[in-house]
Amino acid sequence: MKEYDLISLRSFVAVVESGSFNNAAIQLDTSSAAISRRVSALEAALSVKLINRTTRQLDLTPSGQQFYQDVLGILGALEQAEERLNCAQETYSGIIRLGAPVSFGTQKLAPLLPAFLKTYPQITVTLQLEDRVSDLLNEGIDLSLRIGELQDSSLVSLPIAMMPRLYCASPEYLKTHGRPASPAELKHHQCLHYSFLSTRNEWALASGEQELDARVPLAANNGDVLREAAIQGMGIAMLPWYIVEDALRGGALVPVLERYAPPPLPLSIVRPSRQFTPVRVTVLMQYLRDALAGAGESGGRAEG
């Protein structure tokens, strides 16, 4: 049997999955030179070229592709063996990297995490909040909460709930500009645009237009910003219920076009497609699924 170590195998896998020595170095918290040496040493030990290196890209050789698939099985079996030991000892420990959208993370997720961490005190959760679609594999994220249709088919998805959305505006705005009676009247109003999703296109379709011919005084990639703009009378916003529920209950915002509410968005837990999921990740997935199963239910009770 050839002589090579586990860290060399992990380095090789990290290079393949991240697409570069530099990305693999970031993932494994080392230098790109160290990653390059490990892969070269692995190739020397095997007497086989695994990766073709060019100035622009890295390509697996046929032998490298086969070895990569085999190594995934080996590493997965090792992780399973370690987790079985943990389960046998009834211990849950380690770091979980969790991603979520900013507004949902602060309003819905943050209140749930302390109870989980009190139940599993040896688990550490590193929470990454961003209003963008993160690259789970390259960024080392174990789990992520996603709102909306998933674009990456390589991810493993667990649907949790449907998140209602609604049109809303401040009483002052409606007093000044009038309340739209149908989506077709949106073209006469100021519309606040969530730039991360195609809400402008959705409004156009709802109004029966090819394009929404309306003034957009503010576009932002964060729902909290648009909620505050709507409260201050800047225009009509289309937002998920959870972002505006407090403002609706307090009267700072009121729903409009209730009969024409946009379709709800799915809330899902996603993780990288891997052969084995550590028990600490599995237990957090179960906790979040149970805790967030009714996350969108209150949206159906808006009055206006």
Q: Which residue has the higher pLDDT, 78 or 7?
A: 7
Give the chain as a DSSP string.
-----HHHHHHHHHHHHHSSHHHHHHHHTS-HHHHHHHHHHHHHHHTS--EEE-SS-EEE-HHHHHHHHHHHHHHHHHHHHHHHHHHHTT---EEEEEEE-HHHIIIIITTTHHHHHHHSTTEEEEEEE-SS---HHHHT-SEEEEES----TTSEEEEEEEE-EEEEE-HHHHHHH---SSGGGGGGSBEEEETTTTHHHHHHHHTT-SS--SB-S-EES-HHHHHHHHHTTS-EEEEEHHHHHHHHHHTSSEEE-GGGPPPPEEEEEEE---S---HHHHHHHHHHHHHHTTTTGGGGG---
- Asked if the model's pLDDT at residue 257 lies above 50, the reply is yes
Q: For position 85, what pLDDT does the model report?
A: 66
- Asked if the model's pLDDT at residue 111 lies above 60, the reply is yes
Contacts of 32 (CB under 8 A, 6+ apart): 21, 22, 24, 25
Contacts of 199 (CB under 8 A, 6+ apart): 193, 238
Give the mean model confidence (pLDDT) for residues 234-249.
93
| Superfamily of domain covering 165-260 | Periplasmic binding protein-like II (3.40.190.10)
Query: Looking at 63-77, 107-121, 144-158, 281-295, which range is the least confident one?
Result: 144-158
Residue bearing tokens 């949902």: 104
- Asked if the model's pLDDT at residue 132 lies above 90, the reply is no
Q: Which two tokens stand for residue 180?
A: 């739209």
Give CA separation, 282 vs 114, 158, 276, 279, in Å: 17, 12, 10, 5
Q: For position 136, what pLDDT does the model report?
A: 75
CA dihedral 262, 164, 257, 225 (to 10 degrees): -90
pLDDT digits (tens, 9 = 90+) for 31-46: 989 999 999 999 999 8
Q: What is the CATH code for 90-163+265-294?
A: 3.40.190.10
Q: For position 197, what pLDDT does the model report?
A: 59
CA–CA dist 217, 206 (Å, integer)? 20
pLDDT tier for residue 263 given thresholds of 50, 70 and 90? confident
Q: Which two tokens stand for residue 171?
A: 């009483």
Q: Considering the chain, tell me which residue range(s) the CATH 3.40.190.10 domain(s) occupy.
A: 90-163+265-294, 165-260
Tell me the pTM: 0.64
pLDDT tier for residue 297 given thresholds of 50, 70 and 90? low
- Asked if the model's pLDDT at residue 204 lies above 70, the reply is no
Q: For position 181, what pLDDT does the model report?
A: 92
Q: Considering the chain, tell me which residue range(s) the CATH 1.10.10.10 domain(s) occupy.
A: 6-85
Query: Looking at 1-15, 69-83, 183-197, 207-221, which range is the least confident one?
Result: 207-221
Q: Please determine, looking at this structure, whether the domain spanning 6-85 carries the CATH number 1.10.10.10.
A: yes
Contacts of 164 (CB under 8 A, 6+ apart): 240, 241, 261, 264, 296, 299, 300
Q: Which two tokens stand for residue 100?
A: 């979520």
- Asked if the model's pLDDT at residue 273 lies above 70, the reply is no
Q: Which two tokens stand for residue 293?
A: 């199963």
